[in-house]
Structure 1
């Protein structure tokens, strides 16, 4: 028994040391730090071919850019890049007028990502809250927080996370999920390989995914959500001009405020809802007609599951 306890203590110590090493590695010192000043918001353009981008809004007009550089290959992840490898990249961190550019690019156009000389270049940037961003990475995640303005985030290999954003946003990823919390404005979110989760969002909300589910919690406004490979769950606190939810490979469930005039178009293998003051046609797999005299179009459909419409008391 004592030997077992000793062994467990040793394992715990090794794990703690390993986790500490990873933690220290994640908090590595930046390769480059630059500070700028903008007037009345301004613009941020960031591109990197192999790392993540994190942008956080703060009070004031200062911009702080931190660039982190390390080998992309896990075998030499903790080693400092050589001068020869660094010379194969272009690092451009500068201010031009009221715009800040933070760009890391490979000089060669045709190169393989799994080369030993590939680098992971990430940016952590503090900006004024009122700023427009254009962010692009081909190999990492993108995170935005506490911003007001027009945002554009595109990644080919990671997730996109937005928190406390006011303005119009385009979020596009080919290989990850999209997660949004506390949002107000027009949103166009698309992913080819992950789920979409929106919480506490208001505005014109458009969500598309080809390979995951869509979760909409406490959303309000004009809502259009579609997926080819998952279910959709929508908790709508206030309807806008329309509610459109469609999936080809799962179920659809929506909860909307009670007592409003609605034009219903519900379809699926089975349709479940309560019809009060209804004028139209109702079948097992289709409901089409008006509630309370009609009004806001509500279209819920699935090709491979159940469609359910519920009402908040």
Structure 2
């Protein structure tokens, strides 16, 4: 037994060591190409790639720095330099036109050969005031410390946002969406992951077909839908409405107390305090007004408990 345990520990340390070595090599990876530009006023960024991730970070000044990272998509060759034959199959276009920066990586011919395919990603440093259009079909996208109109889309990865001011459309078909410190109108959709929002205000519309939704310290007009998980919302300030709907889990919300509300709560079981209530209620449905009515609050689930709590 001791011998087996010893062998297991040796294998574990070997795997951890190999992983650490690969991670260190990846962290030390040098960019394939670096270009810098100067903007004159608020700018726009157009970044698109079909086989890699995009990371954009805002900062002070009027400088833009675009770093291009190229690695073989075949995992057995991830630590190798891309071959000239593989590079010849792609177009990498990084340029400035007026106050618009383009960072585009495209395969010249359709079809996919994993043996000679490449992952081409961007890490871009931009001024804080910048409108971004970011698209990739093969990786994740992160955006941080930026003010302006944002459009973000990926078919094969997660989305992460932090310190964003401005309206944003965000879509992914294959990952989760995580957002922190946001102000503006948000329309976020995913077909394959959870949505987590922390400290956000504005018109917040989030939808997922394959995960849970967690809203913490949110304020404004809130509309959240999921077909495959639970919803939890800590609402600091109610806007024009609060709508939370799921087909596959429980729904829980905490809202400020003492407000006039129009309640429409439905679930396998409904739990809430009914003070100054006028309407109808039973264990599965509550419909009516609280404190004379006012803000519509609709919460429903087909597969769990609906619970509305009040914070005094």
Return the alpha-carbon distance in structure 2 between the equivalents of residues 72 and 10 of structure 1.
27
Cα distance in 1 between the residues matched to 2:301 and 2:11: 53
What is the distance in 1 between the residues matched to 2:265 and 2:196? 23
Unaligned runs of 5+ in 1: none
Is 1:26 aligned with 2:27? yes
2:210 counterpart of 1:200 = no
User: Equivalent residues in 2 for 1:126-275 (5 A)?
Assistant: 126-275=125-274
1:166-212 C-alpha deviation (Å, 9 max, x unpaired): 00011100000000000000000000010000000110000000111
**CA deviation vs aligned residue, 1:247-289 (integer Å, no higher than 9, x gap):** 0111110000000000001011111000000011111111011
Distance in 2, matches of 1:227 and 1:312, equals 25
Once the two structures are superposed, the pairs formed by residues 38-117 of structure 1 within 5 Å of their partners are 38-109=39-110, 111-112=111-112, 115-117=114-116
Pair 1:278–1:120, CA change in 2 (3 A): same
Cα deviation digits, residues 67-116 of structure 1 (max 9, x gap): 0001001011111111111010000000011100000000112x12x521
**Partner SS for 1:84:** helix
Measure how far apart 1:24 and its partner are. Answer: 1.9
* Equivalent position of 2:36 in the other structure: 35
Structure 1 runs, 4 residues or longer, greater than 6 Å off: 1-7
Partner SS, residue 151 of structure 2: strand
CA gap of 1:123–1:284, structure 2 versus 1, over 3 A, is same
Q: How many residues align?
A: 311
DSSP-derived class of the 1:40 partner: coil
Secondary structure of residue in 1 paired with 2:21: helix
CA spacing shift, 1:76–1:258, aligned 2, 3 Å: same
| Other-structure match for 2:296 | 297
Structure 2, unaligned stretches of length 5 or more? none
Normalised TM-score (structure 1): 0.95
Deviation at 1:11, TM superposition (A): 5.5
Distance in 1, matches of 2:301 and 2:167, equals 29
Task: Give the secondary structure class of the aligned counterpart of 1:20.
Answer: helix
CA RMSD of aligned residues (A): 1.7
Distance apart, 1:21 and its partner CA: 2.9
Cα 1:13/1:118, change in 2 over 3 Å: closer
TM-score where L is the length of structure 2: 0.96
Q: Per the alignment, do residues 2 and 108 of structure 1 end up closer, same or farther by CA in structure 2, a change over 3 Å counting?
A: closer
- Residues 83, 265 of structure 1: CA spacing in aligned structure 2 closer, same or farther, 3 A cutoff? same
Q: In structure 1, the residue corresponding to 2:13 is in which secondary structure?
A: helix
Q: In structure 2, what is the equivalent of residue 124 of structure 1?
A: 123
Distance 1:94 1:303, change over 3 A: same
Residue 25 (structure 1) shift? 1.8
Displacement of 1:6 after TM fit?
Answer: 10
Instruction: Determine helix, strand or coil for the equivalent of 2:138.
Output: coil
Q: Tell me the SS of whatever aligns to 1:34.
A: strand
CA distance in 1, matches of 2:28, 2:11: 26
